[in-house]
Amino acid sequence: MAEVAPVITIDGPSGSGKGTISRLIAEQTGFHLLDSGAIYRLCALACLRGNTDIEDADAVNRVAQTLDIRFDVGTAGVIVFLAQDDVTGDIRQENVGMAASTIAAFPSVRASLLDCQRSFQQPPGLVADGRDMGTVVFPSAGCKVFLTASAEIRADRRVKQLQDAGQASVDRGQILADIIARDERDTNRATSPLVPAADALVLDSTALTIDEVLAEIMALIKSRALLG
Ligand SMILES: Nc1ncnc2c1ncn2[C@@H]1O[C@H](COP(=O)(O)OP(=O)(O)OP(=O)(O)O)[C@@H](O)[C@H]1O
Ligand SMILES: Nc1ccn([C@H]2C[C@H](O)[C@@H](COP(=O)(O)O)O2)c(=O)n1
């Protein structure tokens, strides 16, 4: 029987640091990286660009079923393409994140995007970042983490991230409100809600540095003997 590549799942709410930590773990382990949120964002962007009503599950599902996407590794990180168009920056816009959260509530859309996500499970292994990686997409993963932090600290981190990226005016109140709204929708949807897997380590990073979070998760991974 073919050996199945090991999977490490990092789930959690928006701005909890999943993406940052998943990238660092992928670097340290040499595993592939799946940013599943990017797939939902690509689907949302395709809807917005094609004037598809994002409240219409059937219409959004038709977009999901014919999604033409590609991920390339560039010198500055992952480059994301939608129908050959580099949309690496576009998918990070707040309105695209909100639209992604809306379309992600449709069960048919989630089902249509499952195979694409599972295709990332390749040797030597995978670090998968998202909301339902440990519960639905990779329930047999050998190591599962649910990374969280208070909404207030996540808003502070996002403000700093935007300021560091050169954004002139940043409205912290609006950012906090958006984080709370997205948490609410992602946590309360009926299908694949944002909840820790029963066998996940729940790690609250509110008072932890990135290095401290990384050290704790790497220790867990080593204890599970997932590395070749
Ligand atoms: N423990 C931490 N201490 C301080 N800053 C952190 C910590 N973890 C993450 N950050 C910073 O918070 C910001 C958001 O992190 P990141 O983009 O990794 O979150 P995310 O969970 O992937 O968000 P999203 O789901 O919205 O993509 C980044 O600027 C990152 O450097
Ligand atoms: N596994 C996933 C990943 C993402 N989503 C949805 C919900 C999020 O609000 C949105 C954007 O994700 P982000 O890039 O901020 O991680 O996509 C999901 O439902 N399941």
Q: Going residue by residue through the chain, which has 228 residues, state the pLDDT in tens, using 9 for 90 and above.
A: 556 899 999 999 999 999 999 999 999 999 999 999 999 999 999 999 999 999 999 999 999 999 999 999 877 788 999 999 999 999 998 899 999 999 999 999 999 999 999 999 999 999 999 999 999 999 999 999 999 999 999 999 999 998 998 888 889 999 999 999 989 988 998 888 899 999 999 999 999 999 999 999 999 999 988 877
Cα of 100 to ligand 2 centre, how many Å?
6
- CA–CA distance, 198 with 191 (Å, rounded to integer): 17
| 1 in any annotated domain | no
Walk across the sheet containing 69-74 and list its strands. Answer: 69-74, 77-82, 85-86
This prediction's pTM: 0.95
Residue 32 bridge partners (DSSP): 126
The CATH number of residue 164's host domain is 3.40.50.300
Amino acid symbol at 201: L
- CA–CA distance, 220 with 161 (Å, rounded to integer): 28
| 15 in any annotated domain | yes
- Binding site annotation covers 12? yes
> What is the total count of domains within the chain?
1
Nearest ligand to the CA atom of 189: 2
Best mutation site among 47, 101, 115 for ligand 2 pocket (most ligand atoms within 8 Å of CB): 101
| 71 in any annotated domain | yes
| 30 in any annotated domain | yes
Answer for the pair 125, 6: CB distance below 8 angstroms, yes or no: yes
Residue 126 bridge partners (DSSP): 7, 32
Domain span at residue 147 reads: 7-223
0.85 surpassed by complex ipTM = yes
